[in-house]
Amino acid sequence: MASITISNIAIPNWQGNTQGVQLRVFTNGSFTASNGNVNPATFQSNPASLGTFFRTYTCSVSGSTLTVPTVTLDSTTDSIDNPSASYSAVLFDTNSGKPIQPFGTYTSFSLSPSPTSTTWGNIFAAGSDV
């Protein structure tokens, strides 16, 4: 199975927007997942030129804690046509229409088909390839 569920995460000491925050996930290269889902490339070399196709996840803020919801993405490393494809994630301000900051410790990350559930911490700890 090529769908990977990434559990929600609560980020303490958030000092940014209190509303209108989204996690936007972009693909750095077009790929067809092993389940047949087609994922077009959406990320250009310059973060200011992010493409228009992306997956969005509405985040919530309570007090000083930002919560990113559960995310489901296709695995990339078992792609039938581009196993080197990867994702990038950006926290985005829907009020201003501008990126807030990259999400994570790496500019991009890949997902293996196993395990089928993971955490953002595991993805970031593993480096750019999980």
Between vectors from CA 73 to CA 15 and to CA 62, what angle results, nearest 5°? 25
Mean pLDDT of the chain: 87
Q: Which of 1, 24, 128 is nearest to 75 (CA)?
A: 1
Q: What does the pLDDT look like over 27-40, one tens digit per residue?
A: 888 899 999 999 88
Question: What's residue 129's pLDDT?
Answer: 44
For residue 128, pLDDT over 60 is answered with: no
For residue 20, pLDDT over 50 is answered with: yes
For residue 130, pLDDT over 90 is answered with: no
Q: What does the pLDDT look like over 82-117, one tens digit per residue?
A: 999 999 899 999 999 899 999 988 888 999 999 999
Reported as a pLDDT band with limits 50, 70 and 90, residue 65 is very high
Distance CA 84, CA 55 (A): 19
Does the pTM of the predicted model rise above 0.85? yes
Q: Cβ atoms within 10 A of the Cβ of 95, count? A: 10
Question: What's residue 41's pLDDT?
Answer: 80
